[in-house]
């Protein structure tokens, strides 16, 4: 699994990281979760299996190494960060291969019952909405999510924390070349 590869690479870089996914033994998952809750592990590389029931208030980052299946899923997963009210970040990496390799791709839909076909159509629609969300680099991310859920948003409440809104703020220069190189190497090695 990708989460295992990413965790291994992070460990090689000196980080206290582990992985978590639904195929693991339940006792092993509980042990990893306990280590993370006690800050014995700083980074969990996980599938969506890790999300439910997690309430650790000091999560600073949620990094998606692949495209979530829906805006609802993305919203729920990002909600793990910053529950203590402090500033947190969510980063999403994806590429167009995810759409071609998706089980929702058109070629995988041949000879399916109509009910299954409707489910696939819904999944495709969710995936395309997620891609559109990612590709929109001009509208406030919070606004886009609230519109998706049918809620209203007062622009005066925007704190300019998303990538789109923060473009309007002054930038601060930082040397991040080494970190960027590690991320690029990680993405290359895991094939994402």
Q: What is the pLDDT of residue 186?
A: 85
In this structure, are residues 69 and 123 in contact, taking their beta carbons and an 8 Å threshold? Answer: yes
Classified as helix, coil or strand, 26 is helix
Q: How far is CA 175 from CA 74, 165, 167, 178, 181, in A?
A: 29, 22, 19, 8, 12
d(CA 184, CA 192): 10
pLDDT tens-digit profile of 50-101?
876 677 899 999 999 888 889 999 998 888 888 898 989 999 988 777 666 5
Question: What is the pTM (predicted TM-score) of this model?
Answer: 0.71
Residue 104's nearest CA partner among 75, 70, 143 is: 70
Q: What is the pLDDT of residue 112?
A: 56
- The residues near 83 (Cβ < 8 Å, ≥ 6 apart) are 55, 56, 57, 58, 59
pLDDT tens-digit profile of 169-181?
655 667 778 888 8
Residue 168 has pLDDT above 80, yes or no: no
Q: What is the pLDDT of residue 110?
A: 54
Determine the CATH number of domain 55-190: 3.40.50.300
Q: What is the pLDDT of residue 100?
A: 61
């Amino acid at each position: 699994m990708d989460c295992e590869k990413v965790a291994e690479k992070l460990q090689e870089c000196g980080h206290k990281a582990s992985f978590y996914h639904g195929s693991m033994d339940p006792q092993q998952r509980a042990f990893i979760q306990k280590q993370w809750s006690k800050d014995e592990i700083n980074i969990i590389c996980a599938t969506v299996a890790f999300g439910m029931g997690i309430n650790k208030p000091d999560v600073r980052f949620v990094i998606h190494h692949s495209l979530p299946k829906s805006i609802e899923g993305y919203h729920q997963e990002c909600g793990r960060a910053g529950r203590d009210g402090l500033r947190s970040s969510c980063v999403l990496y994806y590429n167009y291969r995810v759409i071609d390799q998706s089980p929702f791709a058109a070629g995988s839909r041949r000879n399916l019952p109509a009910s299954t076909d409707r489910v696939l159509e819904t999944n495709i629609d969710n995936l395309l909405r997620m891609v559109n969300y990612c590709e929109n680099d001009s509208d406030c991310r919070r606004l886009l999510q609230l519109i998706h859920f049918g809620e209203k948003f007062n622009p005066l409440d925007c704190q300019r924390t998303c990538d789109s809104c923060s473009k309007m703020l002054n930038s601060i220069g930082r040397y991040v070349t080494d970190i960027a190189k590690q991320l690029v190497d990680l993405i290359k090695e895991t094939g994402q």
